A and B are shown apart, each in its own frame.
Chain A
Amino acid sequence: NAGVMQNPRHLVRRRGQEARLRCSPMKGHSHVYWYRQLPEEGLKFMVYLQKENIIDESGMPKERFSAEFPKEGPSILRIQQVVRGDSAAYFCASSPGGHEQFFGPGTRLTVL
């Protein structure tokens, strides 16, 4: 059973561009979480999704950020008009339900 997959692993964008981060959960997992890790900080919850539904987006910035988890395909975290402060590692975790989450290797976003 493959683990949580994230791609790309590294992403470089210039200010004002869009960033799309993908997350494929473990087989059989229908719950996906996104977290952001700023340099020298812990992980901060962003959003929790189940198939086709956003359940909790209390950690998402109000503007420029969106997430989806379609019926088919990976979950996508989308950042429009990126700024330097968006530079961070973005981690996806999946769960079959319950409290245990399995993390992907992360996408490291650098905004120039």
Chain B
Amino acid sequence: GNSVTQMEGPVTLSEEAFLTINCTYTATGYPSLFWYVQYPGEGLQLLLKATKADDKGSNKGFEATYRKETTSFHLEKGSVQVSDSAVYFCALSEGSGNTGKLIFGQGTTLQVKP
């Protein structure tokens, strides 16, 4: 079945460092891909998305490119801030004709130190 695998955390960085969180997926068809962010005690917020191969999603300085050849959707940010500390989830939504349910990776905790 479909699945998402993320790099294990926690990831600890200093402020202004470069961030990469790896995400790979297994899916039949043509899924849409998402990154969600969860701050402590809160629900998930959509960070960015990509719906087809080679699409780049971007938001708040974060970027991720849908790579069909490597089945990856790695999250990157050039310069992290303390306020970026949160748990990041990669997810896929199965393609057309399906229910749209999301399949999540296990989450990666990011800690940014001043």
| Residues of chain A having any CB pair with chain B under 8 Å | 4, 6, 31, 33, 35, 41-45, 48, 55-56, 59, 91, 93, 95, 98-106
Interface centre among A33, A55, A101 (most CB of B within 10 A): A101
> Complex Cα distance A105/B43, Å?
4
Whether B43 lies near A104 (C-beta < 8 A) is yes
State the B residues within 8 Å of A (CB). 32, 36, 42-46, 49, 51, 89, 93, 99-107
10 contacts between A and B (CB under 8 A): A4-B43, A33-B100, A33-B102, A35-B102, A42-B89, A43-B44, A45-B102, A95-B100, A101-B100, A103-B45
Residue B43 contacts which of A33, A41, A56, A103 (CB distance < 8 angstroms)? A103
How far apart sit A106 and B43, CA to CA, in the bound complex (Å)? 6
From B51, which residue of chain A is reached at the shortest CB distance? A99
B101 cross-chain contacts in A, Cβ below 8 A: 33, 45, 48, 56, 59
Top 4 A-B pairs ranked by shortest CB distance?
A42-B104, A103-B43, A99-B93, A103-B44
A44 CA to B107 CA, complexed, in Å: 12
Question: Main SS of the interface on chain B?
Answer: strand
Question: B89 — which chain A residues lie within 8 A by C-beta?
Answer: 42-43
Q: Which residues of B contact A42 (CB under 8 A)?
A: 89, 104-107
Task: Report chain B residues within 8 Å CB of A91.
Answer: 43-44
Tally inter-chain residue pairs, CB-CB below 8 A.
56
CB atoms of A105 and B100 under 8 A apart: no
B106: which A residues are within 8 A, CB to CB? 41-42
Assess the B46–A55 pair: CB atoms within 8 A. no
Give the chain B neighbours of A6 by CB distance below 8 A. 43
A102/B100 in contact, CB under 8 A: no
Residues of B within 8 A of A106 (CB): 42-43
Sample of 9 further A-B pairs with CB below 8 A, known A4-B43, A33-B101, A42-B105: A33-B100, A43-B89, A43-B102, A45-B103, A99-B51, A100-B46, A103-B43, A104-B43, A105-B43
Task: Say whether B100 contacts A99, CB under 8 Å.
Answer: yes
